[in-house]
C-alpha cells in the first residue's frame, strides 16, 4: 500500500470511491480472521465479516483518529461479534470439560491411526484449535484472540473492547490460563502423554463429519502438521498453547468482499 492508511482513510471519508475500496480490501482479511476465531464456523464468519465491513463503511465518518484505524476497526468488529443476535444464537456454549470428553470419543488405537504425513491431519489440527476457543465465554474469547493470537498491545486491545485496561488484563490472564491448562492436559501436540492425538482422532472426525473429506481452501496456507509438531516439541510449556493457536495461517476471506460491501452500501443507480 503506497499511501499511508491515514491518507486513504481521509480520502474515503471525503467520498473517494477508489480509496474506500482500497480501505475495505486492506481490512477484510483482518476482520475475517478475527470473526473466524470468534465464531469457529466458516459460513457464519463470512457473513459476520460482511456485516462488520458494512458497519465500518457506514460509520467511517465517526472515525476521528483518536486511535489507530485498525484498532477502531477491531472495536467495530468486536462490538458486532459480542452483541449481534445471529452470532450469539449460534454460539455452541461448549465447555472445556465437555470438549475434553468429546475428543476421547472414538479414538483409534495406534494401529488404526492416520499416517502422520496425511494432509487431513492439519485440517483436524486447525479446526480443533479453533473449536477449543469456543469453550471460553465470548468476552474472554475476544480478549484472548486480540491479545494472544493477534498480539495486540494491551492498551489497544482494551480500547478495541471498550473496557478498562485492568479489566482487559484480567480477562486475558484468565483466558490464557484456561487454554493453557486444557492444551497441556488434552492436546497430544503439547503433551505426548495426552490420550488424544491428531492421528488417533482423525478417523473418528472423518467418520462423524466433524471435518470434510478434503482440505479447506481457507486453511491452505496454515503451517503443516509436521512443522507444527516440531515447533511444539521445542517450545516451553508456558508458550506452547499460544504457538498452536497462532499456527493457523492467514485465515483470509475466500471471497473479495469489497465489491459486495460497496454495492450494498452504494447500490448502482437503476437509471
CATH number, position 140? 1.10.10.10
Structural domain ending residue among the three candidates 91, 109, 126:
91
Residues 6+ apart with CB under 8 A from 168: 143, 147, 154, 157, 158, 161
Coil/strand/helix, residue 223: coil
46 with 132, same domain?
A: no
74 with 135, same domain?
A: no
- For residue 235, being part of any structural domain is answered with no
Q: Domain limits at 84?
A: 7-91
Across the range 154-183, mean pLDDT stands at: 98
> pLDDT-derived band of residue 2, with 50, 70 and 90 as boundaries?
low
Structural domain ending residue among the three candidates 64, 91, 118:
91
- Residue 186 and residue 103 in contact, taking contact as beta carbons nearer than 8 Å: yes
- For residue 190, being part of any structural domain is answered with yes
Structural domain ending residue among the three candidates 67, 91, 115:
91
The pLDDT of residue 117: 86
Q: What percent of the chain has pLDDT over 70?
A: 97
Place of cell 488404526: 112
Mean pLDDT of the chain, nearest integer: 94
Cell numbers for 131, please give them.
473449536
Nearest to 184 by CA among 122, 244, 141, 227: 244
Q: In this structure, what are the phi and psi dihedrals at residue 182, rounded to the nearest 5 degrees? A: -65, -45
162 with 207, same domain?
A: yes
Rg (CA), the chain: 20
- For residue 163, being part of any structural domain is answered with yes
39 with 143, same domain?
A: no
The pLDDT of residue 213: 86
> pLDDT-derived band of residue 270, with 50, 70 and 90 as boundaries?
low
- For residue 271, being part of any structural domain is answered with no
- For residue 252, being part of any structural domain is answered with no
Place of cell 484505524: 69
- For residue 258, being part of any structural domain is answered with no
Q: For 137-146, how does the pLDDT look when each residue is reduced to its tens digit (9 = 90+)? A: 999 999 999 9
Could you give the number of structural domains in the chain? Answer: 2
Q: For 25-54, how does the pLDDT look when each residue is reduced to its tens digit (9 = 90+)? A: 999 999 999 999 999 999 999 999 999 999
Q: For 75-97, how does the pLDDT look when each residue is reduced to its tens digit (9 = 90+)? A: 999 999 999 999 999 999 999 99
The CATH number of the domain holding residue 39 is 1.10.1740.10
Across the range 189-211, mean pLDDT stands at: 94
Q: For 95-141, how does the pLDDT look when each residue is reduced to its tens digit (9 = 90+)? A: 999 999 999 999 999 889 999 888 999 999 999 999 999 999 999 99
The pLDDT of residue 255: 84
Q: What percent of the chain has pLDDT over 90?
A: 86
Length of the chain: 271
Measured from the Cβ of residue 113, the count of other Cβ atoms closer than 10 Å reads 18
Amino acid at each position: 500500500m503506497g499511501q499511508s492508511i491515514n491518507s486513504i482513510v481521509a480520502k474515503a471519508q471525503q467520498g473517494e470511491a477508489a480509496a474506500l475500496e482500497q480501505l475495505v480490501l486492506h481490512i477484510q482479511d483482518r476482520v475475517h480472521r478475527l470473526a473466524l476465531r470468534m465464531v469457529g464456523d466458516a459460513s457464519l464468519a463470512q457473513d459476520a465479516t460482511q456485516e462488520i465491513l458494512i458497519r465500518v463503511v457506514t460509520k467511517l465518518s465517526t472515525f476521528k483518529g483518536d486511535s489507530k484505524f485498525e484498532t477502531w476497526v477491531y472495536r467495530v468488529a468486536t462490538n458486532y461479534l459480542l452483541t449481534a443476535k445471529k452470532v450469539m444464537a449460534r454460539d455452541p456454549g461448549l465447555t472445556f470439560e465437555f470438549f475434553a470428553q468429546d475428543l476421547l470419543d472414538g479414538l483409534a488405537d495406534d494401529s488404526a491411526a492416520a499416517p502422520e504425513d496425511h494432509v487431513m491431519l492439519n485440517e483436524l489440527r486447525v479446526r480443533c484449535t479453533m473449536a477449543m476457543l469456543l469453550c471460553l465465554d465470548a468476552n474472554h474469547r475476544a480478549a484472548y484472540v486480540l491479545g494472544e493470537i493477534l498480539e495486540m498491545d494491551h492498551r489497544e486491545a482494551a480500547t478495541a473492547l471498550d473496557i478498562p485496561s485492568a479489566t482487559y488484563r484480567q480477562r486475558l490472564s484468565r483466558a490464557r490460563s484456561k487454554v493453557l491448562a486444557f492444551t497441556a492436559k488434552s492436546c497430544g501436540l503439547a503433551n505426548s502423554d495426552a490420550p488424544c492425538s491428531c492421528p488417533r482422532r482423525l478417523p473418528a472426525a472423518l467418520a462423524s463429519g466433524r471435518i470434510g473429506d478434503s482440505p479447506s481452501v481457507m486453511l491452505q496456507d496454515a503451517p503443516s502438521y509436521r512443522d507444527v509438531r516440531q515447533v511444539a516439541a521445542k517450545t516451553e510449556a508456558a508458550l506452547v498453547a499460544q504457538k498452536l493457536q497462532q499456527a493457523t495461517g492467514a485465515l483470509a476471506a475466500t471471497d473479495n468482499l469489497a465489491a459486495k460491501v460497496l454495492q450494498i452500501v452504494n447500490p448502482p443507480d437503476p437509471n
